[in-house]
Structures are given as C-alpha cells and as structure tokens.
Chains A and B, each alone.
Chain A
Amino acid sequence: MASSIGPIQRRLSREEIAALYVRTGALVLRRCRFLLRDEAEAEDVLQEVFVRVMRYGGPASEEGRIELAFLYRTAERCCFDRMKKRSREPLQDPDSAVEIAVHTAERSEAAQLVLRFFERLSPKLQQVALLHHLDGLPQERIAEELSWSRRTIGKKLKQIDQQAQRLAVQWKERKK
C-alpha cells in the first residue's frame, strides 16, 4: 500500500481540486451512486466530499496526492448520514442494486447477494460489507483500514452473510 507522507492540512486550490476530480471523481461518484441509488444525490455528495477536502485537506501519498481511501471514507460517512435520514422511506427493489454502476470484476455469489441487499443491512454492517464485498478486500486489510481487530471483522462478515440470506428469503416470500 502506498505510504502516506502525512496529511495535507491547508485549503486546496481550485487547480488541486480540479486535478483531484479528474483522478478520483468518477470513482467517488460511482460509490455514492451505489450507496444512495440516486444520481442527483450522488452528485451532491460528490461535491460535499470535495468541499470538505478543499477546506481541510486530507491524508496524502508520497507524491502529495490525497488518497482515494480517504475520499471513500468521507463519501461513505456522508452517504450513511443521508441513508439514515431516509430510513423511513420505502426501500428500493434490491434487484436494481447491482445494476448501479459497480465493477464488472469477478464477484462471488455471496458477495452478489450481500450487494443486492446492501441497503437493508444494518448500518453497522454496511461499512464492512462495502469493503469486503464491493471492494474485495480481505479481512486483514479491512481491519487495518477501519482500525478494528481481525476477529471483529470476521464476526461482522458472518453476521452480514446471515442477514443477507435472511433478507433474500424474506424478499422471495414477499414477491410470491
């Protein structure tokens, strides 16, 4: 993993924001789309993330570039806040979940199931589900990323799989 030189703790210029947008904007937007299932909201969160970075900076690589992981975590926090606020709204059809732009990279059946019902997972499990089933990270890296123990990650992943299977059964019953 690229090592950080330490955070950039100053207001970024427009040029820096423009360059960061070119390098990472589409990736952050894609993540927001997946979480929010709404193009306009996703674009709004994208801007919100960049506003925060512009004002406060963030962790940077050796080349002095803001790291993608930091942008993802910031975007996820914004998205989770919005998802929480709208938790009383009717949930969308889970079959539309993986049609939202995500990688076409290989995914296991278990991962596809979790992503399909991601919106219905409890908020505490969504972060881990995101890193494991969307980003494909192994437990060790998730533990490092979230500063949790590997054991905790393992337990969460088990809960995620169980919850996803339960949701799949409930959805099937509902569709009958």
Chain B
Amino acid sequence: MNHPPAFDLDRFAAKDLDPAETSRVQGHLQECPKCQQALAGIEDERKAMISRLSPPQFAALVDVRASLSDRRAWGRPLVIWSLAGAGVAAALLAVVLLAPWADHQDQARWMGSAPTVRIYLNRNGSTMTLTQEHLQIGDRLRYEVTLPPGKKGYAALVAVEATNVFPVLTGSNQADPIRVSDTSLLPGSVAVESGSEPTLLCLIFRPEPYSMNDLIREVGQARLEKKLDSMPGLIHQLLVEAGPQ
C-alpha cells in the first residue's frame, strides 16, 4: 500500500493541505488502519497538550515572553537582603528585588471565579511558566494575577523568613499594594540569590485597599500563630529553599 509521507499526515492533521491533497489523504485513511492510528496518536497528543495548558493560557504566556524579550536592561536593585550566614555550605536561596519592569496591561482573561496566579520564570534569557521547576540562583520570577471579568482588587507579595516579614512587590510608593484588574502582570520581579534562610513568598489579594504596614503585621502574627494558611486573601505561596547539591 502506498502511504502518504508522514509529513503529509502531519499537514492533514494541521489542516494545512489544499482540497485535492486533503481528498487524497482522506481516501487513503479510509483504507489504512496504520495511518488512521498515526492520526489518532496525533489527536491524543493534541488533547494531552491542551489539557496541560489551554490555548488562552498558552497564548498569554507567549505574549508575555514576546514582551519580555522586547524589554530593556534591568534597573539597579532597590532592596537587598544580605542574609548570607557564615560557613553556609548549601546553596540556600533568598530574594532580591530589582527595579520594576515597564507595566504590562493584558487584555481581559479569566479562568473560573476565583483569582488565579501564574508565575513566569526567566532563566538565562528563556522564559517559561513556573510549574515543578526547582529554582536556581539567578532565576527571576514575575507574578500574573487573573480576576473574573470586571473585578478589581489589591495585590501584594511579601516574603517570610523565620519570623521576619518583608514587602517584595508593592505599589509604586511601597506603602500600598498594587491595584489589579482582569489580568495584571504585577510590576517588578523577584530574583533568586544566595542566602541563609528559606523564604516563603506569599501573594495576598483583597478586593478592598489596605496598607502594607498592616499587612506585614498581619502576616507576621499569622505566622507566629501558625495560621498563615488560613489568612484571608492569601492566594499563593511559594517556598524558596535550598535545592539538592
């Protein structure tokens, strides 16, 4: 039996063939279980890929990467935690805040009725969504918050190290949180540098404004009482700690 080239099956699956070619491949498929199976395999992979990352999510990620690759050079650091302890053998990680990037306003996207969070990881110039990746020194993180359409609120990222709480991503005057609506890429980014303590990055979102001072006090208290997980408005936590050597 004369099979079409595998590439033409790919193009058939991608709806890339002209009508005559399509008809030819369709005719062959009606008589060829092997090529039918090959096509079914492509369809299975397509479904698996989309279930991992939906088309709107993928498109948003690509859009952010395209924008990131257009960005200019980093600004100088604003805040540095000099926490490196003496004689630390393991590559423990803390965070350094760099100058904010140009704000990026996205078109409205929402996924469900609760805020969702996506973190973008930039490593050696490549950007990807943070999933199960182990963080490395030099990595940079950006946070994106998506709200249901028409919703607005206030987000802030704080770092918790032992009993200390620090603001990481805040509004431009650092005393207030960041105003967010629809889909917002939070201004500023977090860089992973060496340090001596694990750091818990907590993203808080609330529909009403609040002050950073109040938030820091509240997070510190919740941490002491071991009630951080149930803190109102805590929508994401990321533990940054030593990885395997």
Contacts and interface: CB of A to CB of B under 8 A. Distances in A.
Contacts of B4: 136
B56 interface: yes
A43 B3 CA distance: 30
Given A1-B21, A18-B55, A29-B49, A47 B42 contact: no
Contacts of B107: 14
B58 interface: yes
A2 B58 contact: no
Contact of B66 (A23, A51, A134): A51
Given A18-B55, A47-B128, A27 B34 contact: no
B18 A2 contact: yes
Interface stretch (B5-13, B86-94, B96-104, B204-212): B5-13
The secondary structure that dominates the B interface is: helix
Contacts of B135: none
Contact of B58 (A1, A18, A30): A18
A137 B3 contact: no
B22 to A, nearest CB: 9
A54 interface: yes
Contacts of B14: 23-24, 27, 68
Contact of B21 (A2, A25, A27, A137): A2
Interface stretch (A91-99, A103-111, A149-157, A164-172): A103-111
Given A27-B13, A68-B16, A135-B6, A14 B59 contact: yes
A84 to B, nearest CB: 16
The secondary structure that dominates the A interface is: helix
B7 A51 contact: no
Contacts, number: 122
Contact of A26 (B34, B49, B59, B60): B49
A103 B38 contact: yes
A131 B10 CA distance: 12
Contacts of B61: 47
A106 B34 contact: yes
Interface string B185-217: 000000000000000000000000000000000
A68 B65 contact: no
Contacts of A22: 46, 50, 55
B41 interface: yes
B25 interface: no
Nearest to B65: A51
A26 B9 contact: no
Given A50-B58, A104-B41, 15 more contacts: A1-B21, A15-B59, A17-B59, A19-B55, A22-B55, A25-B46, A47-B58, A47-B128, A54-B63, A65-B16, A69-B7, A103-B6, A106-B3, A136-B4, A138-B5
17 contacts: A14-B63, A17-B58, A17-B59, A22-B55, A24-B16, A25-B58, A27-B13, A50-B58, A61-B18, A68-B10, A68-B11, A68-B14, A105-B35, A136-B5, A136-B6, A136-B7, A138-B5
